[in-house]
Every structure is written in structure tokens, then in C-alpha cells.
């Protein structure tokens, strides 16, 4: 990813999905209840006017009172500041009462079937599947009891149609049951898919946020490392004696980047070998005492870096086929060898080692290559100064 694209990605606003799927579903149910209640209040006013005119002509004063009371309750819960469950419960009770009123008037073949379907489906949508199951059980118990009362002549319907035999009740009940099952299954599947989609969207945003935080951390680390590299480069560039410059450089690099071990090789006059000129700690002193040398070529990580004129990285020494352990450095878990180049000429190799796997990797290669470039220039200037 280029720096411009990386900066654009880091500073781009994230989608605002901060609530859980359950919270979103609760808000959706609240909006649905509000729309249903207000729609019922408006539509109910016109229905009330029409039914009142018909009931006055029929002198059905009880029906006028019941319809007026039901519409008044709908208006109150539509605009009163009551909890969601109280309003949803009252609405469900009103629907059940209207379905029972129609059931006792005209049986299962009349308007009661429509009211029962609306009662059950709306209960599922507002209060969940468990409440819907309870409403369905209550409705079918009511239908069963009413059918028994009608068929045993304990109840007389005002509008009986053809419901004086068992087959009529079974046909009407089974038709209603089929419609309810299809509608409830559709509602439940939609709600589950909605919850799943909301969870996927939230997870995607969380993953994006986490990735952004990781990128911000990595950019911050690279910026800090580049700043350290510049500071180290300035400090070593002021030294002109190689015997002072190199030991100072390896120790400063090790300390500033919290490394396990750091060393610098210089090419000899034949340009076939690398000679260790500086190493940190007691290990570096011991290797210098031994006159440690490496052939330029594929025999070692540092020789490979010098021979190919490119950096060699071992992110994890435990899984690398090219890493050769040094008994003096048993804690090395990642290593990087960076050639010191002046133009196309290799003047040496900077070798870095860490106790942590992945601490030296492609991600911070740019930092150490920049540092190696500054160090190579400092070495070249020191050589020129010595010749002068």
C-alpha cells in the first residue's frame, strides 16, 4: 500500500455502526409500533364513524361503546409516554379482544380470522417468537372452545353462515393456521437475517477499526524508527576515526532499537571476505579477539547480503533454512543483514539480531536500509578523511 493510500485509509471516516444487532432490532420494533399505533388511530377514526352510523341504525349501543373505547385506547397509547412493552401489550390485548368479539359474533369464517392473524403476526414482530407462540396457543384455544360451544348449541352466533357443523370449523381453522404459519415463518426468517446482516456489518466495522489502529501503530513505530535512524546517522557522521566510529555506531544502534546484538563487517582489500570490525558486548569483543571473518557469498547471511548487494532477512530463526546459529548468541530469534553500499560498491555489512521473532522483518527494512546508507556514507567519508 502506497503512503498516499495508507494515509487516506487511516484518516477516512469509519461507518457508524456502534450498536449491537439486538439494539437495532429493539429500535426497529419501537418504530414499527409507533407507525402501527398512529396509523390505527387515523384509520380507526374513519372506521369508527362508519361503524357508528351502522350501529345507530341497528341500535347496537354496546358495539358503539366497545368500538369507541377501543379507538380511544389506541389514541392514548399512540401518543402517551409509556414503555414499549406496555404499549405493545395493550395493542396485542385490543387485537385479541377484537378477534374474540368477531369470533363470538360470526365464528371463524368471519372477520375474526383476519383479526387473529394480525394479532399473532404483530405479536411476533413486536414481542418476539415466544410471545407469538403464546398468542397463537391462546387464539386456538379460544377458537376450539367457541367451536365446541357453537356445535353443542351452548352459543348462538349472530351471523352463523355455514358454521353449524364440524367440517366448517376445521376448514376455517386450518386455513387460518396455514396463513399464520407462512407469515410467522417469513417474519422470523427476516428478523434472523436482519440480525445476522447487522452482526456481519458490525464485525466488518470492528475489524476495519482494529486494522486502522494496527496501521496507525505501525506508522507511528516506523516514524519513530526513521527518526532514530536519522539521529544515529547524524551522530556517527561526525566521527572520522573508524576505530571510534564503528564501536560507537553498533552500540548506539543496539541501544536505540532495543536489539540483542549488533555488528559491522567491512570488506577487505580483495573484496572477497568480510572482516568483523565492531560488535556489541562481550560477544563482540570475543569475536574481534578471534579475528572473525566471513567469505562473501552464499555461505552465510552476511556473506549473502554482501554478494547479492541486497538485504537478507530472517524473521524467525526457528523456521529459517539459511540461518546458522552462533553458540555465542543463543538467544537470537530474528536477524537482518544489510549491505553498506557506496554507489554500487559494497564497503561492508551491518548485522542486526533480536531476541524476538518478527522483530526484524520486511516492515522495518526501510528504516535499517536508510540507516545503512547513512553509515556507508560515514564510512566512506572517514576513509577519505584518513587518506587526506
User: Would the pLDDT of 261 be above 90?
Assistant: yes
Instruction: Give first-to-last CA distance, the chain, whole Å.
Output: 46
Cross-strand pairs, 275:
266, 293
Span 91-146, pLDDT tens digits: 888 888 888 888 887 777 777 888 888 888 888 888 888 888 898 889 889 888 88
Instruction: Please give the mean pLDDT across all residues of the chain.
Output: 80
Report how far residue 71's alpha carbon sits from residue 82's, in angstroms, rounded to the nearest whole number.
17
Percentage of residues of the chain with pLDDT beyond 90: 20
User: Would the pLDDT of 180 be above 80?
Assistant: no
> Given its phi and psi angles, is residue 329 left (phi above 0), alpha (psi -120 to 50 degrees) or beta?
beta
- The DSSP output letter for 243 is H
- Homologous superfamily (CATH) of 238-387 is GAF domain (3.30.450.40)
Instruction: Compute the radius of gyration of the chain from its Cα atoms.
Output: 42
User: Would the pLDDT of 314 be above 90?
Assistant: yes
- The DSSP output letter for 299 is T
Closest CA to 378 of 302, 351, 224, 386: 386
Please report, for the chain, the start and end positions of each structural domain, with discontinuous segments joined by +.
11-206, 238-387
Per-residue confidence at 159, pLDDT binned at 50, 70, 90?
low
pLDDT for 224: 64
Per-residue confidence at 13, pLDDT binned at 50, 70, 90?
low
pLDDT for 163: 57
More confident residue, 348 or 252: 348
Per-residue confidence at 14, pLDDT binned at 50, 70, 90?
very low
CA 273 to chain centre: 53
pLDDT for 45: 84
Report how far residue 34's alpha carbon sits from residue 28's, in angstroms, rounded to the nearest whole number.
10
- The DSSP output letter for 266 is E
Report how far residue 193's alpha carbon sits from residue 199's, in angstroms, rounded to the nearest whole number.
10
Could you give the C-alpha distances from 198 to 18, 31, 113, in angstroms and in order? 11, 17, 35
User: Would the pLDDT of 162 be above 60?
Assistant: no
Per-residue confidence at 238, pLDDT binned at 50, 70, 90?
low
More confident residue, 78 or 240: 78
pLDDT for 353: 95
Per-residue confidence at 233, pLDDT binned at 50, 70, 90?
low
Per-residue confidence at 281, pLDDT binned at 50, 70, 90?
very high
pLDDT for 241: 67
Amino acid at each position: 500500500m502506497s503512503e498516499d493510500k495508507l494515509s487516506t485509509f487511516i484518516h477516512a471516516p469509519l461507518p457508524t455502526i456502534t450498536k449491537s444487532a439486538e439494539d437495532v432490532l429493539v429500535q426497529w420494533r419501537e418504530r414499527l409500533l409507533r407507525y402501527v399505533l398512529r396509523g390505527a388511530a387515523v384509520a380507526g377514526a374513519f372506521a369508527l364513524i362508519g361503524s357508528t352510523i351502522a350501529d345507530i341504525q341497528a341500535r347496537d349501543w354496546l358495539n358503539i361503546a366497545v368500538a369507541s373505547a377501543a379507538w380511544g385506547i389506541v389514541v392514548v397509547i399512540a401518543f402517551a409516554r409509556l414503555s414499549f412493552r406496555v404499549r405493545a401489550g395493550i395493542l396485542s390485548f385490543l387485537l385479541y379482544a377484537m378477534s374474540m368479539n368477531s369470533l363470538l359474533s360470526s365464528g371463524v369464517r368471519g372477520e375474526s380470522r383476519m383479526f387473529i392473524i394480525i394479532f399473532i403476526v404483530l405479536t411476533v414482530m413486536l414481542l418476539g417468537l415466544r410471545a407469538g407462540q403464546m398468542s397463537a396457543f391462546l387464539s386456538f384455544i379460544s377458537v376450539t372452545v367457541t367451536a365446541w360451544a357453537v356445535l353443542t348449541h351452548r352459543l348462538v352466533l349472530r351471523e352463523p353462515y355455514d358454521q353449524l357443523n364440524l367440517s366448517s370449523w376445521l376448514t376455517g381453522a386450518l386455513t387460518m393456521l396455514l396463513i399464520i404459519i407462512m407469515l410467522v415463518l417469513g417474519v422470523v426468517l427476516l428478523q434472523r437475517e436482519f440480525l445476522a446482516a447487522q452482526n456481519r456489518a458490525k464485525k466488518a466495522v470492528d475489524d476495519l477499526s482494529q486494522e486502522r489502529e494496527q496501521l496507525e501503530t505501525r506508522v507511528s513505530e516506523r516514524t519513530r524508527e526513521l527518526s532514530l535512524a536519522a539521529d544515529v546517522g547524524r551522530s556517527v557522521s561526525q566521527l572520522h576515526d573508524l576505530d571510534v566510529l564503528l564501536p560507537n555506531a553498533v552500540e548506539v544502534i543496539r541501544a536505540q532499537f532495543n536489539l540483542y546484538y549488533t555488528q559491522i563487517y567491512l570488506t577487505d582489500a580483495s573484496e572477497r571476505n568480510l572482516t568483523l570490525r565492531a560488535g556489541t558486548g562481550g560477544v563482540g569483543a570475543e569475536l574481534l579477539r578471534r579475528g572473525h571473518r566471513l567469505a562473501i557469498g552464499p555461505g552465510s547471511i552476511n556473506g549473502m547480503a554482501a554478494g547479492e548487494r541486497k538485504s537478507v532477512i530472517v524473521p524467525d530463526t526457528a523456521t529459517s533454512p539459511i540461518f546458522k546459529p552462533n553458540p555465542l548468541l543463543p538467544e537470537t530469534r530474528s536477524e537482518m543483514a544489510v549491505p553498506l553500499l557506496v554507489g554500487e560498491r559494497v564497503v561492508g555489512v551491518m548485522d542486526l539480531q533480536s531476541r524476538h521473532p518478527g522483530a526484524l522483518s520486511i516492515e522495518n527494512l526501510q528504516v535499517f536500509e536508510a540507516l545503512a546508507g547513512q553509515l556507508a556514507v560515514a564510512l566512506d567519508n572517514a576513509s577519505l578523511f584518513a587518506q587526506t
